[in-house]
Amino acid sequence: MKQWMSVKNLAVFAAVLLALLFPLMGFKMYYVHIGVLSLLHILLALGLNLVAGYAGQLSLAQAAFFGIGAYVSALLMLNLHWSFWLAAPMGALAAGLVAVGIGLPTLRLKGPYFVISTMGFGEIVRLIFLNWESVTRGPNGLPGIPAPDPIPLGFMTLTFESRVENYYLILVVLLVVLVLYYNLVHSRIGRALRAIRNDYIATQVMGIHVAFYRILAFGAGAALSGLTGALYAGYIRFVSPDTFTVGESINILIMMVIGGMGTISGPIIGAIFITYLLETMRVFAEYRLVIYGLLMFFVIMYMPQGIAGMVEKVWLRLTTAARKGA
């Protein structure tokens, strides 16, 4: 186990170093753009993982919270001329509050009923974006969203106009989120969420307030998705209802499942893998659902713990065999 932990620490260091150097490796700007999308998808998958992977409540509303964060921050910047650094937290807060509002009645539902309710909510949010034309401009979307405001540092000024600059902005946000995420899932709250996932009734008997922790996880996951929406709006400079569909929620779910639910590394691996897979499959767009189905079948049948779980299992087997051989 100590060997595995040292390997994990080395892998984390290598991954962070690779992420920092990625835009400087001479790749075309297209690949930097894919890198930005990967970082955004990691944040979204982490948000869903908090709800489904740790609290055990599968949700298909993640794209709706993603959209709420994007639209709220964009409207604040366009109509009220707010700074991005104020609008982005407000987008996250709005998504979190909406999640708490719908979570109070719906989190009492179990299994497929909760999934269906979140899917319905996601479609309602998309229809609001599509039809409230006086505010959202409907299917035309919101163009001309300002970039994040420059940050003067005395000897230099940080700007966020280019893809590389946005990549590093989102990477810094992701690293901060990962530190907070790690501390959360290893805290008393994280242990309570895992207990609820593993045995709902036993957790209630132990005196843990199940409803409170579920709503907390649902609201925190939605707020993270809302923050991601604000970052997306500041990067793309345009938002439209077509981006925030139930299909996007399903993509996020697939990222989490393939990477490994209930882990921190799983959503990261799954988001990077699926983002690049989506881009390479553009020429086979009509076969995308078939490939998705086969991939999910393979993972569920042969890697139920996802890629992260499979890697850990293989490593532990190798180290065990090495000890026996010695």
Q: Compute the distance between CA of residue 46 and CA of residue 252 in angstroms, rounded to an integer.
A: 9
Note the pLDDT of residue 202: 85
Q: Tell me the residue length of the chain.
A: 326
Q: Compute the distance between CA of residue 107 and CA of residue 288 in angstroms, rounded to an integer.
A: 32
Average pLDDT over residues 27-53: 92
Domain coverage including residue 256: 2-325
b vs e for 250-288, b when ≥16 Cβ sit within 10 Å of the residue's Cβ? bbbbbbbbbbbbbbbbbbbbbbbbbbebbeeeeeeeeee
Task: Give the type of residue at 142.
Answer: L
Total of domains in the chain: 1
pLDDT tens-digit profile of 266-298? Answer: 999 999 998 988 887 777 767 777 877 788 788
CB atoms within 10 A of CB 155: 5
CATH number of the domain within which 32 lies:
1.10.3470
pLDDT tens-digit profile of 174-229? Answer: 999 999 999 999 999 999 999 988 888 888 888 888 889 999 999 999 999 999 99
Token pair of 278 as six digits: 């989506």
Question: 229, 234, 241, 251: which is closest to 68 by C-alpha?
Answer: 229
Query: Which one is predicted more confidently, 28 or 121?
Result: 121
Query: Helix 306-325 crosses helix 2-21 at what angle (to 10 degrees)?
Result: 130
81: left (phi over 0), alpha (psi -120 to 50) or beta: left
Note the pLDDT of residue 138: 92
Whether 230 contacts 94, CB under 8 Å: no
